[in-house]
Amino acid sequence: MADVVGRKGRVMIACVTFETIKIVDPIRFYAATKVHLISYIRDSNSERSRPYKEFYSQVCEMISDIDPNIQVVQHPDNSVSKFDLMLRTVLNIIEVEKSQDPKAEIYINTSAGSSEYTSAATIAAMMNPGTIPFSVNTRDYTIDLDGVRKAYYDNGVPVGLSKTVFDPRELPMYPIRMPDKKLVLALRVLDKLNRECPSKKISSSQMVDRLKRLDIWYRGTGEKTEKTSAKQNEAVYYHRDFVTKWEQEGWIEKDEYLDRNELTDKGRKIIETFHTLESV
């Protein structure tokens, strides 16, 4: 993973169970100066807790090798498998960091740790605009095919790491706002028209006519309007109901050269993710 130099004042949150590189390399990549490590502590004196302690110690040692001045804050927890407790822990870390520095850049590593931590960390990031969740994919593994068969098979039968499990435990539900359907579909219309006319500005009347035909328009019916005053009003409504909201969400930005609105990376992710069964 490439180094990113010259960046200071960045906070990272991660969970340590049985990974090292997935935690440490992003710290180097983002040049983090402070790292919150949620670590699993079952029983500090038991033999079963030794691997967790050894992995945590190794991560800390590798962080020190990057820069001994990186501040490491340990959050020992014997409940990394409990979603609600992981959500509380991550939210508390974010709250404290933001109270100390409202402009803090907070990166949340969702690639390592328990599945409950990963889910909770992702939701915590969504609840806190400005925090940045990220993941890293494995390039090379530490075990070969024979090692996989030894670790994940039982007498030649694929089983996985788990041999027995507890009863299912339902996750608590937290409301997360789904992007407004008409805003998303209208944004897809804008993107389509931009691609159809790559060097021209898309006029308000073009957008309004297309939105009306597709029944995405918020006001009135799909009837075409000819009166100038009515068209001017519709242009105002289009900017008020769509353009302004797209700007507030960070879904569009102004292309000064073409004098038109273009989708941002965030806006493109929105139209690629939500309400994709609807055609425009």
pLDDT in tens, the chain (280 residues): 444 443 447 999 999 999 999 999 999 999 999 999 999 876 667 777 788 889 999 999 999 999 999 999 999 877 888 899 999 999 999 999 999 998 889 999 999 999 999 999 999 999 998 899 999 999 998 888 888 888 889 888 998 888 888 888 888 888 888 899 999 999 999 999 999 999 899 999 999 999 999 999 988 654 555 566 677 889 999 999 999 999 999 999 999 888 899 999 999 999 999 999 988 9
Contacts of 23 (CB under 8 A, 6+ apart): 14, 16, 37, 59, 109, 111, 112
CATH placement of domain 10-140: 3.40.50.10770
- What pLDDT sits at residue 228? 63
d(CA 254, CA 277): 28
Which residues share a beta bridge with 57? none
- What pLDDT sits at residue 225? 54
Count H helices and E strands in the chain, helices first: 10, 9
Closest CA to 121 of 83, 152, 155: 83
Closest CA to 231 of 216, 223, 36: 223
Element (H, E) at 134: strand 132-134
Closest CA to 187 of 177, 202, 200: 202
- Exposure of 154 by Cβ count < 10 A (0-12 exposed, 13-18 middle, 19+ buried)? exposed
Which residues share a beta bridge with 38? 15, 75
- What pLDDT sits at residue 219? 84
CA-based end-to-end distance of the chain: 40
- What pLDDT sits at residue 227? 62
